[in-house]
Structure 1
Amino acid sequence: MEELLLGSFLSAMATGAGALPILFFKAVTHRWRDILLAFTAGIMMAAATFGLIPQALESDSFLIVCIGVVTGTLVLTVLESIVPHIDLEHTRINIAMDTQALLILSAITLHNIPEGLSVGVSYSSEQAGLGGLIAFAIGLQNAPEGFLVALFLINQRVSRLKAFFLATMTGAVEIVAAVLGYSLSGIIDGLVPYGLSFAAGAMLFIVYKELIPESHGDGHARSATFSFIVGLLVMIGLTDWLK
């Protein structure tokens, strides 16, 4: 449990770490943002396909893995359809810090819940080091998200300190979700392979629906592609090293 709490805390607080630069400057070049997003996509792709799915297959059947992956994908699809989703980097609409902006923050927080569940279920797995790997992958994804959320809030005339705090809090929900996922895995027999597969489906959805398109939207597709491959290889190397 101590490892879970530490891993989920560091993963969640990566959102705040990503938002920290907003206290000192207001922008980052599109090129470096795209490179970071693509690197994160590679990390998460490898975590799902070389960490979560193989472990789920070892624990149960291919059918269970298919059910879990499809369920994770569908849950993220439903979340995206029922809560507002705004490209925080490209939106040019000045939304006041009122109900609409709070709704956007709530939507981002909701999207973080499956990520926290992924961390919790991974720590309940029998594979040594899997929880830390998934927490690392999710944390990398949280960092640029935290920066963009804080930047969005500053553009809505929210103070820098308050923007940093609110961005950090959107990631804090992952700690609660991680504990919940870990606890449920210990209570319900046979939940771990479902949970691992669910986490893989959720991560693959984020990679293909969010990270890859965003990293290719500003004319830096080639740099982003190489960054994706490097991220993929880094995570494969970490997975092999921790076996």
Structure 2
Amino acid sequence: MLETFSHFSPVLQALIAGIFTWSCTVVGASFVFFFKQVNRKVLDIMSGFAAGVMIAASFWSLLAPSIAHAEESGYGNLAWVPATVGFLLGGAFLRLTDRIIPHLHLGEPLENREGPQTKASKSLLLFLAITIHNIPEGLAVGVGFGAVAAGISTQNTLMSAIGLALGIGIQNIPEGSALSMPIRADGKSRWKAFNYGQMSALVEPVAAVLGAAAVLSMSALLPYALSFAAGAMIFVVVEELIPESQTNGNSDIATMGLMVGFAVMMILDVALG
């Protein structure tokens, strides 16, 4: 199966990987059919775990390959430039997205919604918040497979790209339930809560294809694209996931969740890469 997959075009590989990460969100969102609610402590552990996965992926799967690629592309002692520029642009992109798209972070009252004023429902605002931070995850997957096609850096192998998709998929399972459960608790039907949960990740296959296509069409963008995805993910982690996990009296166990998520992603990347 892996040999067959390796013969697919990078864009198709990215699409398949994006569909896989979305399907993991579907699995998580389906928990709403089996449980009435999710414990706040469990939600905080989930947020911590997701943060750990994204931090580890940002370094091992994105920033380190970005610097290695720049070194092999003739940047020399300035190999840090693409990584730094891309990283900061990724954070700025998410900041801009936060300002122009109304949304509400999990666990926050409706009056704490962010972005432009809107009469959108709480469920829709929660959905938009998760969708925003799924964008960099999809981009990371797509750029990872595009980097393999570039074939310049030994940091980028098919197995490392698959490992990145696997890590993001794993953390999407609790993420899907972390969205569908509060929406159910807000009074929506199980089917509506499920659909909000699974649809929040539909952006991932789209972003994955766009990321892979951009890298393939302009290979010089590769180190910038890798670090851009890293910067966007770190912005999500610091602005959303860590605060969510640390403000409900479960800081110690949420931090342990973060460390476990970091370790899982590190193992996946190092072992598969």
Length-normalised TM-score, structure 1: 0.88
Change (3 A) 1:159 1:177: same
Partner of 1:20: 30
Matching residue's letter, 1:145:
E
Match of 2:84 among 66, 89, 107: 66
1:226 is aligned, of 250, 256, 262, to 256
RMSD: 2.3
| Residue 167 (structure 1) aligned with residue 197 (structure 2) | yes
Number of the residue aligned with 1:208: 238
Q: CA distance change for structure 1 residues 122 and 16 in 2, over 3 Å: closer, same or farther?
A: same
Q: Which residue of 2 aligns with 1:194?
A: 224
Shift of 1:156: 4.3
C-alpha displacement of 1:141: 3.7
2:55 maps to a residue whose letter is M
2:175 corresponds to which residue?
145
Amino acid at match of 1:114: P
Give the counterpart letter for 2:179 in structure 1: V
The unaligned stretches of length 5 or more in structure 1 are none
Q: Is the 8 A contact 1:79 1:111 kept in 2?
A: no
Matched, 1:79 2:97: yes
Partner Cα separation in structure 2 for residue 106 and residue 44 of structure 1: 19
- Corresponding position: 1:119 with 2:129: no
CA distance in 2 between partners of 1:216 and 1:109 (Å): 22
* Equivalence for 1:240: 270
On the 8 A contact 1:43/1:232 being kept in 2, the answer is yes
CA 85–66 in structure 1, closer or farther in 2 if over 3 Å, else same:
same
Count of residues in Structure 1 that have an aligned counterpart in Structure 2:
240
Matched with 1:5 is: 15
Unaligned runs of 5+ in 2: 1-8, 71-78, 112-118, 149-155
The Cα of 1:101 is off from its aligned counterpart by: 4.8
SS at 2:247's partner residue? coil
Of 50, 54, 74 in structure 2, the residue corresponding to residue 44 of structure 1 is 54
Q: Distance in 2 between matches of 1:158 and 1:64?
A: 45
Using the size of structure 2 for normalisation, the TM-score is 0.79
- How far is 1:29 from its partner? 1.4
Cα distance in 1, alignment partners of residues 265 and 26 from structure 2: 23
